[in-house]
Amino acid sequence: MSKYPYQISSFEDYQRQYKKSVENPEEFWAEIATNFQWKQPWNNVLKWDFRSAKTEWFSGAKLNITENCLDRHVLTQPDTPAIIWEPNNPEDHHRVLTYRELHFKVMQFANALKNHGVKKGDRVCIYMGMIPELAIAVLACARIGAIHSVIFGGFSAQSIADRIQDAQASAVITCDGAFRGNKSIPLKEVIDDALMSCPSVKTVIVCTHTRTPVSMIKGRDFWWEDEIKKVETQGNPYCEAESMDAEDELFILYTSGSTGKPKGVVHSTAGYMVWANYTFVNVFQYQPGQVHFCTADIGWITGHSYIIYGPLSAGATSLMFEGIPTYPDAGRFWDIIEKYKLEILYTAPTAIRSLMGFGDEPLKNRDFSNLKVLGTVGEPINEEAWNWYNEKIGHNNCPIVDTWWQTETGGVLISNLAGVTPAKPTFATYPLPGVQPVLVDENGNEILGNGVSGNLCIKFPWPGIIRTTYGDHERCRTTYFSAYDNLYFTGDGCLRDEDGMYRITGRVDDVLNVSGHRIGTAEVENAINMHAGVVESAVVGYPHDIKGQGIYAYVIYTGTHGDVNLTRQDILATVSRVIGPIAKPDKIQFVSGLPKTRSGKIMRRILRKIAEGEIGNLGDTSTLLDPMIVDEIKEGRL
Ligand code: WT7
């Protein structure tokens, strides 16, 4: 018998569970929820109304997610490694934190936060590198009921300030700096810039890591290490886990949409916990003792759900890697697999494609014999990359799970279950129990049957569904629940094949997916337009061999400063400053005008086609105000 009674064991079992989850969802999830630790049981398993964008799971229940991730495992398996940390520099020492140690450190830091007056419901911004203290900070917030908002280290001071202001965060947890490959990123310096416009922040706690010189403002900035010492002298190492309502907000994670302003996706406590755990246990078919390596950054939802909450709630061993796949060389992932005899590797297609480009040399004489499961996430995987992953890493012996999900979904919605349900290259395949996908046409009519394509919606809530967008529930409703009546709209296009398997074909809105990172075209345009001399811009995606999508910007520029290439560099610097280096366009084409309709709407379809190189077939251009501009743009194509 599996340690997890709800772990699906065969295709027939999957079909049975799926059927039950659709026919009797409340009974289904109530039964699964008994596998967690509650302080008080729920009154209702589910209350929902998509038309007002409201969902509640297990309402009335009380719990703390850290008791589920830590305390209960400390009782049964205190010496099991919870987190194994591999540093950026392979010559530095790795670290292992057992469940006992992690529990202790989380309580210590939770007490440090309490010493600074951080309490239930407060928002805490976390901007750190991939070190164990990041996971400790996240869990310490959850311990005392503070709402964490982790911001990826690649975002600029301006982006951080926007997010801190939106959430009115009262505390920031950061590091002096972070290592990434041969670079070191001055995190505290970026925070200092951000905080100039963030009066809500009263406390900054700084963990030392790179030991880069940093400014420390008296009364506001405190060293992590000093705060821990203070807690130690206070004597009592215990920190009571705050009693949280099932629907209390656990965290905010900002993500891009089709408007210029990122939105704070809010997840709640109980539903998110159940979903992260259930999907982790079933998709990866995790077995006790295995080491799970999710290569994502904790600044993204993948890291939240499959480095921290999913694995830890399951008592698993989660490997956390500070560095990048190509440092010190393109064999780094493979070194890590061998060093820790990993069973599970979960990464992004963009990483696979990039490593594929280094050929077979880095793979020579490798021992991958412990690997059992491979996974991908973040973007559609092309067949070539899938085959390479399967042959060179999996040795045709490891199921590959192609996991489709979103920041808003909390955990995986559509994926094969490793070795249990069938895989099909480039297909996410079947929905998890509890997930009811539908395809709809432009008019919102459901497209029935198999061998069809449409826009992907979900017609019934699953426990991990987004609860609101922070501070603006109406935005949540209009973004996700108003495009189609009574459906959650994903923003993805999708195909359902003859066997009823799903294949995600990519975004149908103005959102780009660059190296698995979500970037709104409007956001990039706003940033470009802030550059002096820029009159207008239009940003579209184009196929990129490694990144999946590249960013192509058409820019009307009237400035006279230096030559064209210098201007390009200046614009890139502006985008870096406003959003962060991850949003820098790959190509900038200067144009004298943009193709617009008579009502002034930019015809992105045409710009997309040109960026993709499909200049022969631009479709209907008869509604254009000035068809001549298209010829100019075609000629100047990069
Ligand atoms: C978007 C969500 C889910 C965590 C990482 C990204 C795309 C995600 C897949 C997949 C094809 C995928 C979708 C989705 N996407 N996984 N397996 N196959 N596309 O989270 O930043 O919220 O982005 O990523 O377009 O909508 P995110």
Tokens of 392: 């060179």
CA angle 193, 125, 255 (to 5 degrees): 95
pLDDT in tens, 467-492: 999 999 999 999 999 999 999 999 99
Distance, CA 292 to ligand 1 centroid (Å)?
Answer: 20
* SS3 of residue 266 by DSSP: strand
Contact between residue 162 and residue 261 where contact means Cβ atoms under 8 Å apart: yes
Out of 307, 402, 405, 413, mutate this one to test ligand 1's pocket (max ligand atoms within 8 Å of CB): namely: 405
Residue ID of nearest Cα to ligand 1 atom 19? 379
Amino acid 599: pLDDT: 87
Q: What are the Cα distances from residue 272, in Å, to 129, 267, 407?
A: 24, 6, 12
Edge-to-edge order in the sheet of strand 317-321: 95-98, 81-86, 317-321, 291-294, 344-347, 373-377, 400-403
pLDDT of 414 over the 80 cut: yes
* SS3 of residue 232 by DSSP: helix
**Ligand 1: lining residues by beta carbon, under 6 Å:** 255, 301-302, 377-380, 402-407, 428, 490-492, 504, 506-507, 513, 516, 518
Distance, CA 482 to ligand 1 centroid (Å)?
Answer: 21
Split at pLDDT 50, 70, 90, the class of 143 is very high
Question: Which string of b and e fits 252-262 if b means at least 16 CB within 10 Å?
Answer: bbbbbbeeeeb
pLDDT in tens, 63-116: 999 999 999 999 999 999 999 999 999 999 999 999 999 999 999 999 999 999
pLDDT of 198 over the 90 cut: yes
Distance, CA 406 to ligand 1 centroid (Å)?
Answer: 5
CA 562 remoteness from chain centre: 39
Out of 307, 308, 458, 504, mutate this one to test ligand 1's pocket (max ligand atoms within 8 Å of CB): namely: 504
pLDDT in tens, 525-567: 999 999 999 999 999 999 999 999 999 999 999 987 778 999 9
Contact between residue 361 and residue 332 where contact means Cβ atoms under 8 Å apart: no
pLDDT of 53 over the 80 cut: yes
Distance, CA 117 to ligand 1 centroid (Å)?
Answer: 37
CA-based nearest residue to 191, from 228, 211, 217: 217
Amino acid 40: pLDDT: 98
Distance, CA 9 to ligand 1 centroid (Å)?
Answer: 26
CA 628 remoteness from chain centre: 42
Query: Mean pLDDT across the chain, nearest whole number?
Result: 96
Amino acid 350: pLDDT: 96
Distance, CA 296 to ligand 1 centroid (Å)?
Answer: 13
Percentage, residues of the chain above pLDDT 70? 100
Separation between Cα atoms, residue 414 and residue 142, nearest integer Å: 28
Residue 126 phi, psi (nearest 5): -120, 120
Distance, CA 503 to ligand 1 centroid (Å)?
Answer: 12
Q: Which atom of ligand 1 is nearest to the CA of 505?
A: 11
Separation between Cα atoms, residue 313 and residue 96, nearest integer Å: 18
Amino acid 625: pLDDT: 82
Contact between residue 82 and residue 72 where contact means Cβ atoms under 8 Å apart: no
Q: What are the Cα distances from residue 497, in Å, to 12, 400, 405, 454, 553?
A: 20, 19, 19, 12, 35
